[in-house]
Amino acid sequence: MTTETATPAPTSSAGSLLKTTLRDYGLVVALLAIMVFFQFTTNGVLFKPVNLTNLILQNSYIIIMALGMLLVIVAGHIDLSVGSVSGFIGALAALMMVKYGIAPIPAAILCLLIGGVIGASQGYWIAYLKIPSFIVTLAGMLVFKGLSLAVLGGASVGPFPTEFQLLSAGFIPDVIGPITIPMGEGAPVVLHSTTMVIGILIVLGQVFSSLRTRRRRQGHGYEAEPFGFFVVKTALIAALILFFTYLLASYKGLPNVLIVMSILIAGFVFLTKKMTLGRRIYALGGNSKAAQLSGIKTERLTFYIFIIMGMLSALAGLIFAARLNTATPKAGQGFELDVIAAVFIGGASAMGGVGQVAGAVIGAFIMGVMNNGMSIMGVNIDWQQVIKGLVLLGAVVFDVYNKNKA
């Protein structure tokens, strides 16, 4: 009598599939859950097109600095000076454009270069003289906060030229022409058609990229998710993109600063995933001694990281100044806390070597939605700080728990 032993089929159970999906898209699900919560608690104000646009404008400079802070934290360092540097650069921009009449573009370029020099000066102490980044950037925070007061003479300076204000307050032109959608007895909805076309192109690109990734995994023999699940997931992502595109198109379209952010995000994704420099940054944060023994010039790499951080802080300072249309002595105050919190909430490890660009961006939006939603609800600023602190602590505890469990 022969006994046949059944060979277990390749597993792709619903439980493991759900666990993998939550691991890959957990932050996105958390962001959507927070947005839905505030949509109900604010009586529908959160998803209004004007508020959604303001949400992007209010958090653009945090997201831009979070991209640089991600590299800093992944490399095993910290930068406490980013808020003060951004405020100082805004003060310099006001001095150049308002007091001395320098044209916006040359003044902005000069400000970015100064931001790079500031980052280089701090990076030199950290990389080559081995002074802890916490000490160097804490000193920088105090120095540039004082310099902002000195440059502005303790008073606000503005307004900025109209061309400069477009950096933060402008929108892309509608080159195609508006689309009017009748709404029965209500007022018709006028859509920014160029924004809708861009949204559709993004969806098509996302679908193409997902299909190509799936085929590549199958070609290399990896187990792929069931096709039906893949279709549902891709359709949901596409629907979300089109929904938010529609909301923006029904107001004034895509803000200029969103285009700047998108280019930077794409560039940093490419840097961290495709470039040798990005892989070396992760190696540096994972084990600096091993990275050095493998031939990576760790001092020079750290130096470059802080130059990038300085330039991004400068860009954030320009965007914030353009949004306010004035430079104030208190500009940038507390930005460093929101930036660092965004990166840690986005999954970066306090030990270095771990973190993703998408996580930092979503973490920044989580902080932004919480700020916006609690402000609309009328929550006092003191309780807002308490809640944000608890969310940050929870994110770090969750990260440590997962590492210990692994």
**pLDDT, tens digit, 9 for 90 and up, residues 163-214:** 888 888 888 888 888 877 776 666 777 888 999 999 999 999 988 988 888 8
CB atoms within 10 A of CB 287: 14
The residues facing 157 across adjacent strands are 327
H or E stretch covering 22: helix 14-41
Please say if the pLDDT value at position 406 is more than 60. no
| HEC readout, 176-226 | CCCEEEEECCEEEEEECHHHHHHHHHHHHHHHHHHHHHHHHHHHCCCCCCC
Q: What is the DSSP letter of 109?
A: H
Predicted model pTM:
0.87
**pLDDT, tens digit, 9 for 90 and up, residues 94-135:** 999 988 889 999 999 999 999 999 999 999 999 999 999 999
Q: In the chain, what are the domain boundaries?
A: 28-80+102-134+259-317+329-405, 172-254
- Looking at every residue in the chain, the average pLDDT score rounds to 85
What DSSP string runs through 219-262?
HTT-----HHHHHHHHHHHHHHHHHHHHHHHTTT-SBHHHHHHH
Please say if the pLDDT value at position 17 is more than 90. no
3-state helix, strand, coil in the chain (%, to 5): 70, 5, 25
Ramachandran assignment for 177, one of left (phi > 0), alpha (psi -120 to 50 degrees), beta (any other):
left
What is the spatial distance between Cα 324 and Cα 157, in angstroms, rounded to a whole number?
Answer: 11
Identify the CA nearest to 332 among candidates 54, 126, 65: 65
Q: What is the DSSP letter of 171?
A: B
